[in-house]
Amino acid sequence: MRASCRSLYLWSRSLWGSMLISFSRIMMQWSAPPVTKPIYFPLNIRSLYIILPNPMSTTGSINTTIEGGSRQHEEEKVGPPHQIDGPTGTHNVADLPPAAGDAPDLLSPLHFSYHKQYIAFYVIFLFACNFLVPILLFYPLFFLTELSRRHIIGISSAALGLSSCFDAPFRLWRLTKHRMTYGPLGNDTWWHLDFVMWAYSFACIIFSIPLAIAAPIQYYNFFLMSTVMLICPNGLIFFVSLFSPKFHVWCSSDPPGTPMKPAVFYCIEDVAAVDFMHGREYRKKIHARYHASPPFRQLMLHLTVYWTVCSLLYCGVTALVSWLTPLEFAFAWVLGQMFVWGAVCSLGCRFIVRHGLRREREWWARKGQNQEISVEK
């Protein structure tokens, strides 16, 4: 029985290794810089992205060149040049985000587009690696074999975390190889990564601890806390960002010494610029939007508080189920709960975004009316 268990374990590892090589070749083609104009969604689902019709006033122009392909040159406001050359390695000073005093009178439109097929494929891949495959391995081995729980947990956890072996390396490749296209503004040092990359890497390191040691030390309830180890560090970072601390290092496009913005702002900036390949132009526009619109800043704050509370609730429920229920029940519950939690919280987030954008439009409409009245007087 021990020999068959070992052969099954080695077979599963070799299977995932071959899948990793095949999938990496496909993703290398998808991760190339875009050379075509993005397709924009119709306005009837504009709550999925942030867009207002008012154009931003242009006081300067920038010609952007995309590696691996060319795009049409566009004029965008970048504000007055900042003199921040110094020991931090800042070279691209023209790409720094506008300061708070450089806010334009009109809003900068944020056009967001993506390929739905890629999103659907990635969600299916996450579901298969982090729920379907572990369930199909765990319960047949648990009820139909005489294997010890130690071996069952070791075999069932082979697929957990496999998705991070794909998205993290490709994201790192974009930030380093094509930094002038996707990297943070104002800094071209290749190893200065963005906020999402650092937070995700830190969370993945902590996430791997229970996966690595729970089975050998036969502490199986600790294995069920692996998803908590992934969510909790990010929730803690979100909580700290609410107090706007000043960091002495770069935080995405914010130079050292800048008060930290709400963490949701950095997530939107980095994910849209890198993962959805909207590049540095999106980073410029979202910083201009943040400095120009007080309701937009309030929306970022509300979303950060919302996801902090959601993370706290997830960690509490998962801990209760992991330590107070049998292993055969908690295993499926904990893995499935992460996807249910993500879906429910996303619906709540969508409601908050729709409400916040509606308030922002009303605020700017009132501001425009007040300006017209003052001009008439």
Do the beta carbons of residue 204 and residue 161 sit within 8 Å? yes
Distance from C-alpha of 72 to C-alpha of 64, rounded to nearest angstrom: 8
Of residues 241 and 147, more confidently modeled: 241
What are the pLDDT digits (tens) for 16-36?
455 544 444 444 444 444 444
Q: Give how far the C-alpha of residue 55 lies from the chain's centroid of Cα atoms, to the nearest Å.
A: 27
Beta bridge partners of 254: 251
Domain ranges of the chain: 115-377
Residue entry with tokens 């975004």:
353
User: pTM to 2 decimals?
Assistant: 0.71
Give the pair of three-digit tokens for residue 197: 């990359």
Q: Which amino acid is at 227?
A: T
Neighbouring CB atoms inside 10 A of 286's CB total: 25
Interatomic CA distance for residues 331 and 337, integer angstroms: 10
Are residues 184 and 283 in contact, defined by beta-carbon separation less than 8 angstroms? yes
Does the pLDDT of residue 238 top 90, yes or no? yes
Q: Distance (Å, rounded) from C-alpha 9 to C-alpha 20?
A: 17
pLDDT at 212 over 70: yes
Q: Cα separation of 175 and 357, whole Å?
A: 30
Whole-angstrom Cα distance, residue 114 to residue 36?
12
How far from 291 is each of 107, 195, 261, 271, CA to CA, in Å? 10, 19, 11, 20
- pLDDT attached to residue 280: 93
> Given a cut of 60, is residue 126 above it in pLDDT?
yes
Q: HSE-up of 64 (CA within 13 Å, CB side)?
A: 21
Say if residues 198 and 191 touch (Cβ distance below 8 Å).
Answer: no
- Take residue 91 and report the two structure tokens written for it: 């070279």
pLDDT at residue 41 tops 50? no
Residues 234 and 207: beta-carbon distance below 8 Å? no
317-363 pLDDT, tens digit each: 999 999 899 988 999 999 999 999 999 999 999 999 999 999 999 99
What percentage of the chain reaches a pLDDT higher than 70?
Answer: 68
Q: What mean pLDDT is reported for the chain?
A: 75
Task: Say how many C-beta atoms besides its own lie within 10 A of residue 327's C-beta.
Answer: 16
292, two tokens: 């120009």
- Looking at the chain, the whole-number percentage of residues with pLDDT higher than 90 is 38
Calculate mean pLDDT across residues 132-139. Answer: 92
pLDDT of 290 higher than 90: yes
